[in-house]
């Protein structure tokens, strides 16, 4: 008769310095987009180190997925806060971002300084159609999870038509979806419930440091005083840098406008980085002209090949837009680009920290309440249509680089088709597809161009 495995005692307490070393390591190995980053954290924190139990991990993940912003970075912040209070959350969230920021600044500089070199140009020629295929895969992946019934399919289709056919601003689409979701949750709650989450297995016999039975920690309880203090701190952390930019450069300067624009973008990133990219495109490419459509595609490719959240593509946008701006007088163009990237990263991620540190104790109690989750379910459905529109936008600029009046780029379409087959049929990782397409693009560039 089989015997059950005896429970394993929980691991020893983890110091803040030990946690610091882990979060630093995670910042350099967090490839693979949100799904890959969450899988890495699950493997390390739940299965290997046993710092947090499966159920507590998934509970934190579900909360982060309801918020605007990069869910993997917010999940790291949440677990860091759960383990070591506010400083633990700040350290975990910051180290998830900082390595990718420095890498993105370096790659952006190489791109602008040597982007016309044959080797670099050839590699990006192959990467651009691969990015189009990756965005199509993102729409498919989110759609299969989010579009559970005809109502949600209808919201996705309507958002696509609104953006593609009528160029409706992204914030308007998000607001309309939220209103529909609110009404749907009130009158048709079964149609707007959040779907079940995919788990990674169970480790119930292996006690964790923060286990299912762990009593609520003192710092996780809701207190009005603490909420007020965090909100005041958040307002100051946003207002002071913005005021300095305004006093130094004025409201219309590129740096000031970047701070304002990416603050708005940070509050609209329901559904992950792919969801906010159309809004970034509308602002950064169409309205402000900080970079060209081709550069936007190249920036997304760089974001896919670096660790950290994909939304770090905003650092590339800022570097290109700020490169060459006069800041102090005679400083190198690199300094202006790097300063812009740092500023934009600050304004983009500040709301994510506030959502976790201030909202965690308050919002956790509303988890699985339909009136709270239904608007977000509708927003996620709308995001599918928005991402599909983004794929068409990328495809247009890749396959017809001179516009519809120009010639069709057959070689790029072949690379895109190969990327689609690799992603959907052979289930290859994004990094593998990008590297393979960069190699193919380089060979085609040498042979045919």
The mean predicted confidence, pLDDT, of the chain is 83
pLDDT at 342 over 90: yes
| Percent of the chain's residues with pLDDT above 70 | 86
Q: What is the pLDDT of residue 254?
A: 92
Q: Is the pLDDT of residue 16 over 70?
A: yes
Place of tokens 């680089």: 401
Q: Over 80: is that where the pLDDT of 262 sits? A: yes
Which residue would you say has higher pLDDT here, 328 or 115?
115
Contacting residues for 372 by C-beta, under 8 A, at least 6 apart: 66, 366
Q: Residue 348 pLDDT > 60, yes or no?
A: yes
- Alpha carbon distance 426, 432 (integer Å): 11
Q: How far apart are CA 417 and CA 434, in angstroms?
A: 13
For 293-320, what is the mean pLDDT? Answer: 87
Q: For residues 213 and 322, which has the higher predicted lDDT (pLDDT)?
A: 322
C-alpha to C-alpha distance for 142 and 387, rounded to whole angstroms: 9
Instruction: Check residue 300 and give its pLDDT.
Output: 83
What was the pLDDT predicted at 277? 79
Phi, psi torsion values for 441, nearest 5 degrees: -60, -40
Average pLDDT over residues 8-26: 87
Cα 101 to Cα 319: distance, rounded to the nearest angstrom:
11
pLDDT the model gives residue 196: 40
Can you give the pLDDT at residue 439? 92
CA dist 377 and 370 (Å) reads 10
Average pLDDT on 334-340 reads 92
Question: Of residues 417 and 396, which shows the higher confidence score?
Answer: 417
DSSP annotation of 1 reads -
pLDDT for 204 equals 46
- Would you state the pLDDT for residue 32? 57
pLDDT at residue 4 tops 60: no
Asked if residue 399 has pLDDT above 80, the reply is: yes
pLDDT, mean of residues 96-119: 88
In this predicted model, what pLDDT tens digit does every residue of 146-189 receive, in sequence order? 788 999 999 999 999 998 898 887 778 888 998 999 999 999 98
**Least confident interval from 1-5, 167-171, 222-226:** 1-5
Give the residue, 124 or 424, on which the prediction is more confident.
Answer: 424
Angle between helices 273-280 and 370-399 (to 10 degrees): 60
What pLDDT digit, counting tens, does each position of 366-395 carry?
Answer: 555 667 778 878 887 888 888 888 788 888
The pLDDT tens digits of the residues spanning 186-216 come to: 999 888 875 444 344 444 445 778 776 665 6
Which pLDDT score, from 0 to 100, does residue 11 have?
Answer: 78
What is the reported pLDDT for 33?
64
Give this prediction's pTM.
Answer: 0.73
Q: Domain residue spans in the chain?
A: 16-194+224-448
């Amino acid at each position: 008769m089989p015997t059950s495995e005896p429970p394993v005692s929980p691991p020893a307490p983890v110091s803040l310095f030990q946690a610091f070393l882990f979060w630093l390591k995670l910042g350099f190995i967090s490839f693979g987009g949100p799904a890959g980053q969450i899988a890495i954290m699950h493997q390390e924190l739940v299965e290997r180190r046993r710092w947090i139990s499966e159920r507590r991990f998934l509970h934190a993940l579900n909360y982060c997925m309801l918020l605007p912003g990069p869910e993997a970075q917010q999940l790291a912040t949440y677990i860091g806060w759960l383990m070591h209070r506010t400083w633990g959350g700040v350290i975990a969230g910051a180290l998830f971002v900082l390595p990718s920021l420095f890498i993105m600044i370096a790659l952006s500089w190489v791109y602008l300084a040597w982007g016309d070199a044959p080797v670099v140009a050839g590699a990006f020629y192959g990467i651009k159609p691969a990015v189009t295929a990756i965005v199509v895969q993102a729409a498919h992946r989110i759609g299969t999870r989010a579009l559970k019934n005809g109502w949600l399919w209808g919201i996705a289709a309507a958002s696509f038509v609104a953006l593609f056919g009528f160029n409706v601003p992204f914030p308007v689409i998000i607001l309309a979806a939220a209103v529909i979701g609110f009404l749907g949750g009130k009158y048709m709650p079964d149609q707007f419930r959040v779907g079940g989450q995919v788990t990674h297995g169970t480790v119930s016999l292996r006690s964790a440091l923060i286990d299912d039975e762990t009593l609520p920690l003192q710092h996780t309880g809701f207190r009005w005083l603490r909420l007020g203090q965090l909100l005041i701190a958040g307002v100051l952390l946003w207002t002071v840098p913005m005021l300095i930019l305004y006093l130094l450069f004025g409201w219309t300067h590129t740096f000031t406008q970047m701070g304002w624009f990416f603050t708005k973008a940070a509050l609209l990133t329901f559904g992950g980085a792919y969801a906010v990219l159309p809004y970034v495109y509308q602002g950064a490419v169409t309205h402000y002209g900080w970079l060209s459509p081709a550069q936007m595609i190249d920036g997304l490719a760089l974001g896919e090949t670096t660790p950290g959240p994909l939304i770090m593509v905003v650092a590339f946008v800022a570097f290109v837009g700020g490169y060459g701006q006069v800041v102090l007088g005679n400083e190198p163009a690199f300094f202006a680009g790097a300063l812009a990237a740092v500023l934009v990263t600050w304004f983009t991620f500040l709301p994510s920290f506030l959502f976790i540190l201030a909202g965690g104790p308050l919002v956790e109690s509303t988890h699985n309440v339909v009136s709270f989750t239904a608007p977000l379910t509708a927003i996620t459905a709308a995001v599918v249509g928005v991402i599909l529109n983004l794929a068409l936008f990328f495809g247009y600029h890749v396959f017809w680089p001179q516009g519809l009046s120009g010639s069709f780029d057959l070689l790029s379409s072949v690379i895109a088709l190969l990327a689609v087959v690799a992603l959907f049929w052979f289930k290859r990782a994004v990094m593998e597809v990008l590297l393979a397409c960069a190699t193919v693009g380089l060979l085609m560039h040498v042979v045919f161009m």
